[in-house]
Structure 1
Amino acid sequence: MQDIQALFDQEDATALAARVRNGDVHPAELLEAAIVRLERVEPQLNAVVERLYDQAREAAGQPQALNGAFAGVPTLIKDLFSPLSGALMSNGSHALGLARPDFDSELVARLRRSGCLLMGTSASPEFGTSYTTESDRFGATRNPWNLGHSSGGSSGGAAALVAARVVPFAHGNDGGGSLRVPASCCGVFGFKPSRGLLPSGPMVGEGWAGMGTGHAITLSVRDSAALLDATAGIDLGAPYAAPLAAQPYRLATLDDPVPLRIALVEQVGPWPVSAQSRAALHDAAQLCEALGHRVVPERLPVVLPEFLDQVFTIIGASTRNYLDVLGQMRGAPVSESEVEARTRIILRDKGQVSGAQYAAAVEWMHAFGRRMAVFMQDYDIILTPTLAHLPPAIGELGVQDDSWSLRQLIEHFHSYSPYTALCNASGQPAMSVPLHWSPEGLPLGAHFIGRFGEDALLMALAAQLERARPWQGRVPPVNAQGL
C-alpha cells in the first residue's frame, strides 16, 4: 500500500492509468489507496456528499477499468444535476430529499467507459448558484490551504479534494464560473469547455440556456485535455454541438503555442478589485510576456449590471421550471421553506418572468456572444483575474436574509467574481490557471478566455504556463500525501 500511496503523491491520472494498462498496479489497489486518502482529509474538508465505495469496488473488476483511457483511476462526481445511477442527487438542497436516479448522465457514462472508478459524490451549494460551497443541507466545504476559508463554488467539493491530493481529478460543472472559481480558491486547474463541446443529456438539452457545461477540475493540464478526449462530442438528440478539435486535445499540450495576442482586462464591473488580485493578474501578464506573447491592456464590450440582470432572468426562470418539474415528479409542490434564502430571492425577483422576457434574455446573450466574437478578431486570448478578491472566509458569502433585493444579491456574489460568467454567456472556453499565491498563502488563479471552439489553443497555453511555472509541487497544509 505504501508504494501505491507514493504513486498518488507523484503522478497524475494519465500516468496512473498507464500503470494499470501495463499491469503494474490493479484498479482495486488504486481505489483502496484513494479511500484511505479521502478518509484522512474528509473530516476537515467536508467535501463529500456520499461515499460509493462498494459500487466502485465492483467496477474495479470490469474490463474498462483495466483498459480505458483512465483505467482504474478513482474520482468523484459533483452532486449537481449530474445523475449517477443509484447515488443520492440532492443538488445541495433539502428539496430533493433522498432522490436517487436510476440512470447515468451521458458525461458520467463516458467517464465510466473511460475506466474511472466513481467512488463518491462531491459537495455543491444549493442549485449551484453560489461562489462558495456552503449549503444548509451539508454545511461548508473548507479550503485545504486554510480551513477558515471557502473552497469556492459551486464545484467546491471537487476542488478541495483535488487540491488535497485525494484524487488527481474530479468531475464538476460550470454555469457562471463553478469550475474556475473553486480552482482559483484551491490552487488547481479548472477548465470550462466551449458551449456544446461536452454532453448534457439525457436529463436536459442545455443548462441555463446553454451557459452550463460539465468537465472537471484537475491537478495537471494534460489530464484535463485527456478528459476532453474521453468525453467530448455530441450526445444523442443534443440541440447543438461545438466543433471538435482536428487532433486529440492531449496533443495540443505537447508544444508551445505560437506567440499570442492577449488582451489584459483588469476591470469589468463597477466594483473594486483587490490589490492581491491585481498583483496576481500582472504577475500572469509578465509571465506571458516572458514566454513571447504580446499583452495589451483592453476593456471588454459589456456593461456588467445589465449583463447580470439578463443572466438572472435565465437563472430565475430555469430554477422556477426545475422546481415545478420536481414538484410534479414527487406529487407535492416545493415550498419556500425547502429552499435557501438565496434561492428564494432569485425566485421572488426572477421566477415569474414572462416567456417574452426569457426569450429576450436569451437573445441578449446571443448578441453579447457576437460582440465578444468581434472583439476576439483582434486577440487570441483574454486575460483577467479569476477572482477580484482572495478566497472568502467561511460564512462571508452566506445569505441568510431573504429581504435582500436581487441587486444586493448580485453585488454580494459578483463583486467577488465579476469575470467568469461572461464566457458562460458567450459560450467561449475559459480556464483558471494556478500561477500566484498571496503572502498569506492563499491561491489566486489567472483567468484566460479563448475564442469559441478553440479549446485546444487554451490547452496549449495552459501547458506552456505549467511548464514555465509548475504548481504540482505546491501542496496545501491539509493533504493526503505521505501516507
Structure 2
Amino acid sequence: MAFDEYAEHDALGLAALVAKGEVSPAELVEAAITRVERHNGVLNAVVHKAYDEARATAKGHLPDGPFKGVPFLIKDLGAQVKGWPRTSGSRFAQVAADDADSELVARYRAAGVVLLGKSNTPEFGIPGVTNSDQLGACRNPWNPDHISGGSSGGAASATAAGMVPLAHASDGLGSIRIPAACCGLFGMKITRDRTPICEVVDGALGFSVHHVVSRTVRDSAAMLDATGYPQAGDPFQAPAKDGPYLDEVAKSPGRLRIAWSAETPSGRPIPEEMLAHLLRTVELLKGLGHEVFEKGLGVDYRQLYRAQSLASASNFSANVARWVEKLGREPGEDELGPLARRGYEAGKRLNGQQAFWGFQQLRLMNRQILSAFEDFDVYLTPVMSTPAPRIDWLDPNMADTREFDKRQAATYATTPPANFTGQPSMSVPLWESEEGLPVGMMFTGRFADEATLYRLAGQLEKEQPWKDRRPALWN
C-alpha cells in the first residue's frame, strides 16, 4: 500500500479495504512500519517495536472483527501483552516479558487488530506530559518542540502522525483527553469499568479507564462496541448500553441542554485565546439548535483535590510497595523520578484514617457533581487552559517539583472530576491555536451515557470536520 494512501484512511476504512481484498493485512503492517521508521526518530512515540511478530500475525489467520488487519499500538502502562516487556515508564517497575495478555488486549486481538508495538508513557502515568528518564520525551507531530500530552502521549503522537489510525490509551486524571487535545484527535474517556481494568492496582481507585485515541469518532465507537462489555469478576460493572455505539454516531442528538463554564480550580481566568475558543464552541452549539447556558459545577475544588491527593498518594505508595515485595528490594536512588519518589514517600507518611477520609470525601463530592447533571445533559469546558506547552517548559523531570506542579496546574484544570465520578467525557478537536496547535473542547456526559456524547461528537465532526487536518510532521 502506498505510503500516503495508508494514512488517509481511518481504521474502519482500512479494515473495509482488507474485507474487499484490495489490500492485505501484511501490506498494512509494512505501511505502518514505514511511517514509524520515518517519524519515530523525531517523535519517540513508539518505544517497543514488535515488527517480526506483527508481520507473522498479519500473514496468519486473523479474527473477522471490525478492525481486521489494522495495525495497533498498546500503551506501555498497565496492559499486558504476552512475551512483551512492560516498563510503565519506570526504571524500577519493569517486567522483562509478561506471561499472558490482559483481558482487554485479548479483546483487541479479537477485534482483528495487529499489535505493532508499545507507545510511550511517563513514569507510572503520573504527569500530563509524556517524558521520563526511562523512555525519553515524546513530541507533538504538529510541532516537535511541544508536548504530546500525557499520559497517553505516545499513543496520541503516533496516531496524529499517521503511524496507526488509532491506538490503545488510558485515562486516570485526563490521560486520554489531554493527549487528544494536544495532538488534534478524538478521545473518549469512557464510563468507569466499561472495559476491563488491566491490573487491580491500576483500577483500585476507580479513576482509570482504558480505551483508544483515534482520528475519527466512528473508530472510537466501533472499538468500544468490540471491547466494552463486562469481565467476569469485575465488582462494579458499568450499566449496559442500549445499542451499538457505532449506530449512535450517525444519529441526531436532538436538542441538548448544554452547560458551559470557564471556571478553573484556582479561580484564575483561562487565557483570552482559550476563552475565545470556548465561546466559539458555544455559538457553534447554539447554531446546531442546542440550548446552551453558562453554569459551573459549584464544587469546592480545593477540598476536592485535597481529598483526591490523599487517596491517590496512598494508592500509589501501595502500588510501589507491591513492586518492592515482588522485586525484594526498595527502589534505588536513581530508579524513581522526582514525582514518583515524592508520591511514594508521601503515601508512606499517611495513615489509614487520612486515606479513607480522602475516599469518603471524594464519594460525598462525587454525589454533588453527579447531582448537577440533573439540570443539563452535557457539560462543556476546554480540555486544557492553554494549547500544548513547550517540552522544555513542562518537564516532569525537573528537580523543583513544586514549580512543575504550578506549571501543570496552569495547563490542566478541568479533566479530573470525570475520573472521580466515573462519567464519560470526551475531547473533540474543534479548533487550532494562533500558533497552529490543536485545541480540544471537553464534553462530559451523565454517568454511563456515552451514547449522547457519541451522537454529539458525530454531529460536531460533520459540522466542523477535522480528520483531514494534517500536522507539520506528516509526509
TM-score normalised by the shorter chain: which range applies? over 0.9
Corresponding residue of 1:128:
125
Summarize the alignment of residues 133-212 of structure 1 with structure 2, pairs less than 5 Å apart: 133-201=130-198, 203-204=199-200, 207-212=203-208
AA partner of residue 395 (structure 2): G
Asked whether 1:460 is paired with 2:458, we answer no
Corresponding residue of 1:92:
89
Corresponding residue of 1:439:
434
Query: Percent same amino acid at aligned positions?
Result: 39
Root-mean-square deviation over aligned CA pairs: 1.6
**Following the alignment from structure 2 to structure 1, what is the Cα–Cα distance between the partners of residues 298 and 347?**
25
Corresponding residue of 1:21:
19
Asked whether 1:470 is paired with 2:468, we answer no
8 Å CA contact 1:64, 1:114 repeated in 2: no
Summarize the alignment of residues 212-223 of structure 1 with structure 2, pairs less than 5 Å apart: 212-223=208-219
**Following the alignment from structure 2 to structure 1, what is the Cα–Cα distance between the partners of residues 399 and 326?**
27
**Following the alignment from structure 2 to structure 1, what is the Cα–Cα distance between the partners of residues 265 and 110?**
43
Could you report, residue by residue, the CA deviation over 1:145-188 in whole angstroms, capped at 9, with x for unpaired residues?
Answer: 11110111110001111111111101010000000001101111
Which one of 299, 302, 305 corresponds to residue 299 of structure 2? 302
Summarize the alignment of residues 63-74 of structure 1 with structure 2, pairs less than 5 Å apart: 63-65=61-63, 67-74=64-71
Corresponding residue of 1:250:
246
Tell me the CA shift for residue 372 of structure 1.
1.6
**Following the alignment from structure 2 to structure 1, what is the Cα–Cα distance between the partners of residues 292 and 324?**
51
Tell me the CA shift for residue 295 of structure 1.
1.0
Summarize the alignment of residues 285-300 of structure 1 with structure 2, pairs less than 5 Å apart: 285-300=282-297
Corresponding residue of 1:83:
80
Corresponding residue of 1:259:
255
Corresponding residue of 2:320:
323
Tell which deviates more after alignment, 317-326 or 267-276: 267-276
1:316 to 1:99, Cα distance in 2 relative to 1, 3 A: farther
Which secondary structure state, in structure 2, belongs to the residue aligned with residue 96 of structure 1?
Answer: coil
Could you report, residue by residue, the CA deviation over 1:125-155 in whole angstroms, capped at 9, with x for unpaired residues?
Answer: 1011111111111211111111110111110
Tell me the CA shift for residue 282 of structure 1.
1.2
AA partner of residue 15 (structure 2): A
**Following the alignment from structure 2 to structure 1, what is the Cα–Cα distance between the partners of residues 357 and 62?**
46
Q: What is the aligned residue count? A: 474
8 Å CA contact 2:385, 2:413 repeated in 1: yes
Corresponding residue of 2:346:
349
Tell me the CA shift for residue 262 of structure 1.
0.5
8 Å CA contact 1:49, 1:121 repeated in 2: yes
Corresponding residue of 1:277:
274
1:404 to 1:71, Cα distance in 2 relative to 1, 3 A: closer
Asked whether 1:238 is paired with 2:234, we answer yes
Tell which deviates more after alignment, 97-106 or 442-451: 97-106
8 Å CA contact 2:257, 2:377 repeated in 1: yes
8 Å CA contact 2:133, 2:397 repeated in 1: no
Corresponding residue of 1:450:
445
Could you report, residue by residue, the CA deviation over 1:252-304 in whole angstroms, capped at 9, with x for unpaired residues?
Answer: 00122111001111013113411221122111111111111111111112222
Tell me the CA shift for residue 206 of structure 1.
5.6
Tell which deviates more after alignment, 131-140 or 458-467: 131-140
**Following the alignment from structure 2 to structure 1, what is the Cα–Cα distance between the partners of residues 81 and 252?**
37
8 Å CA contact 2:256, 2:378 repeated in 1: yes
Tell me the CA shift for residue 204 of structure 1.
1.4
AA partner of residue 189 (structure 1): F
Asked whether 1:311 is paired with 2:299, we answer no
Could you report, residue by residue, the CA deviation over 1:341-399 in whole angstroms, capped at 9, with x for unpaired residues?
Answer: 11122233334322222222222222222112210000000000000012010122224
Which secondary structure state, in structure 1, belongs to the residue aligned with residue 319 of structure 2?
Answer: helix
AA partner of residue 448 (structure 2): G
**Following the alignment from structure 2 to structure 1, what is the Cα–Cα distance between the partners of residues 167 and 10?**
12
Tell me the CA shift for residue 401 of structure 1.
5.4
**Following the alignment from structure 2 to structure 1, what is the Cα–Cα distance between the partners of residues 222 and 397?**
41
**Following the alignment from structure 1 to structure 2, what is the Cα–Cα distance between the partners of residues 403 and 312?**
19
**Following the alignment from structure 2 to structure 1, what is the Cα–Cα distance between the partners of residues 338 and 250?**
47
Corresponding residue of 1:45:
43
**Following the alignment from structure 2 to structure 1, what is the Cα–Cα distance between the partners of residues 259 and 99?**
46
Corresponding residue of 2:412:
417
AA partner of residue 119 (structure 2): S
**Following the alignment from structure 2 to structure 1, what is the Cα–Cα distance between the partners of residues 11 and 255?**
30
8 Å CA contact 1:381, 1:449 repeated in 2: yes
Corresponding residue of 1:60:
58
1:267 to 1:78, Cα distance in 2 relative to 1, 3 A: same
8 Å CA contact 2:278, 2:382 repeated in 1: yes
Could you report, residue by residue, the CA deviation over 1:302-345 in whole angstroms, capped at 9, with x for unpaired residues?
Answer: 22222122222222112211111112212222234310011122
1:351 to 1:447, Cα distance in 2 relative to 1, 3 A: farther
Tell me the CA shift for residue 9 of structure 1.
3.0
Asked whether 1:107 is paired with 2:104, we answer yes
AA partner of residue 42 (structure 1): N
**Following the alignment from structure 1 to structure 2, what is the Cα–Cα distance between the partners of residues 477 and 358?**
46
The TM-score normalised by the length of structure 2 is 0.96
Query: Gaps (5+ residues) in structure 1?
Result: none
AA partner of residue 160 (structure 1): S
Tell me the CA shift for residue 97 of structure 1.
4.1
Which secondary structure state, in structure 2, belongs to the residue aligned with residue 477 of structure 1?
Answer: coil
Tell which deviates more after alignment, 393-402 or 432-441: 393-402
